[in-house]
Structure formats: structure tokens, C-alpha cells
Chains A and B, each alone.
Chain A
Amino acid sequence: MLLAGGWLALFIPFFMKQSRVVITGVGLTAPNGNSLAEFRQNLLNGIAGIERIDVRYMGSQLAGVCHYDALKYQKKKEVRVGTRAGSIAIYCAREALANSKVNFDAQAKDRVGIYIGCTEHGNVETENEIYNISKFNYDTKYWSHYHNPRSVANNPAGETSLSLGITGPAYTIGAACAAGNMGLIHATQMLRLGEVDFAICGGVSESIHTFGIFAGFKSQNALATHEDPKKASRPFDKARNGIVISEGGCLYTLERLEDAQARGAKIYAEIAGYHVNSDASDYVLPNPERQSECIQKAIARAGMTPRDIDLVNTHATATPLGDIQETQGIRTVFADSPDTLVNNTKSFIGHAMGAAGALELAGNLPSFDDLIVHPTINVDDLDPQCALPGLVLNQPRKAKRIDAILNNSFGMLGINSALIVKRFVA
């Protein structure tokens, strides 16, 4: 029986026609924009969104802060009781639904899935409570009764399900800084498996509200410093000196193609391929060999070759070593693809952690329509070790063709994700 089952598993993929999955809505908040249109315009205009904030115990730090209107979709009490990640998720989910123009009232709520990538969750809430009880001689009777619902790992997805009355599966996916891509990948899988009919997916981050993330990166010597906040996040520049931590969120609505077409939805892009793998080599140091392998397998799964990829969004976070290793991996994969363009979004918004992959993809989606590739900014002196033929530096570039975009997101403990979206062609 085991043998028969094994053979069946091998043959099923050849006989099953895989559903095509498409992106039909985008909702986001980034440090430089609270809608796709505003975000995109600022990426084309070279406008970064980094500022200084006061971080508990650490004082003034550089960070990407979102300035969306939380009360657009939440009551004051919901903002007070919930978490920042939950609030960001609710904002993004509702913006995505509005953007998708789906008649959500008519949607079967038990067939809607919420899949939200998070780098971490619970640090903010735990630090706040410890700080709170420190004012009461660490007496735990002052510990909030909201701590557990705030700090459970599924919080942002759960708050979104509460806000929208969604009774289908709603959970988060912990995948360090690869998590934004993972939200989309997981949603695609669930739609193809027929587990849900409609998915809200992507990633969120509230990480600027935890001093621990700042202190951790600082202890790693990986926290950016610069006198001008807007120039602090500078991937590929010789003077780069680390990460700018940001909050943010980007959630998409994903549907099977036939469902999207049946309701006449606008289709932003089609999920073409993806791959997820692990370095199995270090806690924090990236592994270019595994990253290349991840990209290559995603391209193969999409039925493409590197020459079919018109634009690569790099994960590069502006750490001295990480940027070199990623470009090394890209150089290897795209050695015979001189027309592939490469850009980076963190130079504008810093590292939005669990939201990064999803936000960065969104910034590039309009390229399918206008063929313009936003640049990576703040490259005053390109590090030759990061040089790539297609790197779009400081000014947008008109592309000859944008039919496929590769979105890289890599995370600690060596998790790599590569997602490819392509222009939708019926």
C-alpha cells in the first residue's frame, strides 16, 4: 500500500491541472505611502520614508514609521485592546478588499483564508507589560489580562478575522524576513488545494515598537546609522552600515483565475512560480549557494529560464556581507541574462521585516503596466562587489519588457523564499 501510495503521489501532479492563481487586490501601508498608488509614486520619485523615533532604553533611532489612519477601519477601543500588527493587518486587509472590488458581503466567509507572514510577534506586547510592571515593583498582578490574546502568534490574522467576520482559516506564518513572500506562497497552495476560495495574504510587521529588535541588530553591529535618516538605508553602497528597521504591511487578495474572471476582477498579476528552502548553515549569515538554488528552483517551477525574468527585487538589507552574498547569488543565476533588471525597495522604506517581501512586490507590480522600474536609491558610491549589470541605480529606468518579476525574501535561520509573478495573459 505504501508503495502504491508513493507512486500515486508521483503521478498525481502530472494528471492534475493546477489552478492558476491571480492577484486581484492590494492593500498596504509603508513608511512612504498608505496605498499602492502613493507608495509607487514615491518609489518613482525617490522619496524615502525613514525618520527618527524614540526607542525605549535606547533613545533616538532610525526607523520606518507608517502613518496610516488606524481609525479608518477600527474603533478607538479596538486599537487600544489590539496590537499594532493587528491594526496594520486590518487596515491592509480592508484596503485590499476595497481595491479588489469584490462583493465581500456575498462571499462565503468560511471559505476565506487569511495567511499573514510575520518575522516575529509578541515581543512588543511582552516588553510593554514588563515595562508596565516595572512601575509596580514587578508585581505580576499588574500584568494585563490582554497579554495572551495580544501576544499569541496568530494575533494579526485573528484580529483581521474578527474585524471582517471571516470564519475560515486565519493564521500567521513565521518565516523571519522571508515571511511576506510566504504569505502569498501559502495562500496560493491553499487555493490550489481547494481549501479556500478566496485568500487575504501577505505580511505585516510592528517591529519598530520593540526595543529588542533594535538592540539585537545593534549587538550584531547590523543597525544602520546616518545623520540624514532618508539616506540611512543604502543597500549596495560602499558606505552602507546596516539595517533600518521599519513597520509596515501589505496584504493581497488572491483568487483562482476562474473565480476572478467570473466576477470581472482586475488582475494585477499571476503567480507563476515559487520556491522555499533552508540554508542549514548558520543562525544569521546568509548562504549564497542556497539562495541561488532557491531562485533557480522557483524559475524552473515557473517553467521559465533566467532570461524570462525581467526584474529582480533584491532582499538586500544594507548589511556589508549580506548584500555581497545576495548579489553573488543573483550574478550566478543571471550570468547569461544581461537584460534582467535588478532593484531594491529597502533603500526607501528600510527593512519592514515580515512585511518586506509583500511590500516590495507591490512596489514593482505597476511595472507590468508602465514598464518603469523604480531604482534602488542612496547609492552614491556603488560597492563593486555588489555591481550587477541590470542594477537600476538612483533613477527609474524604462524597461523594454516587464513580463515576469522575481521577488526575493530571505530570513534568519536560513529561510529563503523566491516568488515569481507574471503579467496576466488570458
Chain B
Amino acid sequence: MTNDEIKKVVIDIISDIAPDEDTSNLKPDVRLREQLQLDSMDFLDIVMELRKRYGIEVPEAEYIKLATLDSCAEYLGPKFAALGK
């Protein structure tokens, strides 16, 4: 999965858990919480959806790595690769 594809995965999840938010022009290098109204429960939702949809586990100590779309792609890339995606 390419970085852009991983970013789209994350954006799709965010669109589902925060349906009032405009996710069409997110800046990849800016923290998601600075661009969207997301709280800690929403980040738990992102983690849960990664688990449900892709079988990917994000340990609590590594939640910080989901801060931006770029960091998501960087962090999740090897996990998707490990799953053969």
C-alpha cells in the first residue's frame, strides 16, 4: 500500500467517525487535531477501526504516531506491508 493509499484509509475512517468534518483538504504535515474537532475518544475510534477493518494493532504508547497524515503513513506503512498489503 502506498503512502497516499494509507492516508486515504485514515481519511475514510475519520470521515466515518467525524461525519460533520470536512476532510477534503487536510494538510498531511499538520496535526489532525489542529485541523479537525477530534477528541481522545475519536482517536480511540481510529485505533478501533484500524483493528476492525485491517487487523492492525496500535499500542497506546504509539498513539502519538497517528498525529498527522504523514506520520500515519510512515507508522502504518510497515504494518500494512507485514499484512501483505
A and B co-occur in one complex: yes
Q: Which residues of A contact B (CB under 8 A)?
A: 75-77, 80-81, 136, 141-142, 144-146
CB distance from A183 to the nearest CB of B (A): 29
CB distance from B50 to the nearest CB of A (A): 12
A77-B19, A77-B20, A144-B48 are known; give 5 further A-B pairs, CB within 8 A. Answer: A75-B20, A76-B19, A80-B17, A142-B48, A145-B44
Q: Are A145 and B17 in contact (CB under 8 A)?
A: no
Instruction: Determine the chain B residues whose CB is within 8 A of the CB of A142 once the complex forms.
Output: 48, 51-52
Residues 36-62 (chain B) with a chain A CB within 8 angstroms: 41, 44-45, 48, 51-52
Instruction: Determine the chain B residues whose CB is within 8 A of the CB of A77 once the complex forms.
Output: 17-20
Interface of chain A: mostly helix, strand, loop or mixed: helix
CB distance from A138 to the nearest CB of B (A): 14
The size class of the interface chain B forms with chain A is 10 to 19
CB distance from B13 to the nearest CB of A (A): 13
Instruction: Determine the chain A residues whose CB is within 8 A of the CB of B52 once the complex forms.
Output: 136, 142
Q: Are B48 and A145 in contact (CB under 8 A)?
A: yes
Q: How long is the Cα–Cα vector from A141 to B41 in the complex, in angstroms?
A: 15
Closest chain B residue to A132, Cβ basis? B52
Q: How long is the Cα–Cα vector from A296 to B70 in the complex, in angstroms?
A: 71
Closest chain B residue to A146, Cβ basis? B41
Instruction: Determine the chain A residues whose CB is within 8 A of the CB of B44 once the complex forms.
Output: 145
Q: How long is the Cα–Cα vector from A9 to B19 in the complex, in angstroms?
A: 56
Q: How long is the Cα–Cα vector from A81 to B26 in the complex, in angstroms?
A: 23
CB distance from A381 to the nearest CB of B (A): 50
> Out of A76, A136, A145, A146, which one reaches B20, CB within 8 Å?
A76
Closest chain B residue to A71, Cβ basis? B20
Instruction: Determine the chain B residues whose CB is within 8 A of the CB of A136 once the complex forms.
Output: 52
CB distance from A141 to the nearest CB of B (A): 7
Closest chain A residue to B52, Cβ basis? A142
CB distance from B48 to the nearest CB of A (A): 7
CB distance from B12 to the nearest CB of A (A): 15
Q: Fill in one digit per residue for B5-22: 1 if any A CB lies within 8 Å of its CB, else 0.
A: 000000000000111100
Instruction: Determine the chain A residues whose CB is within 8 A of the CB of B51 once the complex forms.
Output: 141-142
CB distance from A405 to the nearest CB of B (A): 42
Q: How long is the Cα–Cα vector from A195 to B20 in the complex, in angstroms?
A: 38
Q: How long is the Cα–Cα vector from A120 to B61 in the complex, in angstroms?
A: 38
Closest chain B residue to A149, Cβ basis? B41
Instruction: Determine the chain A residues whose CB is within 8 A of the CB of B19 once the complex forms.
Output: 76-77, 80
Closest chain A residue to B16, Cβ basis? A80
Instruction: Determine the chain A residues whose CB is within 8 A of the CB of B18 once the complex forms.
Output: 77
Instruction: Determine the chain B residues whose CB is within 8 A of the CB of A141 once the complex forms.
Output: 51
Q: Are B41 and A81 in contact (CB under 8 A)?
A: yes
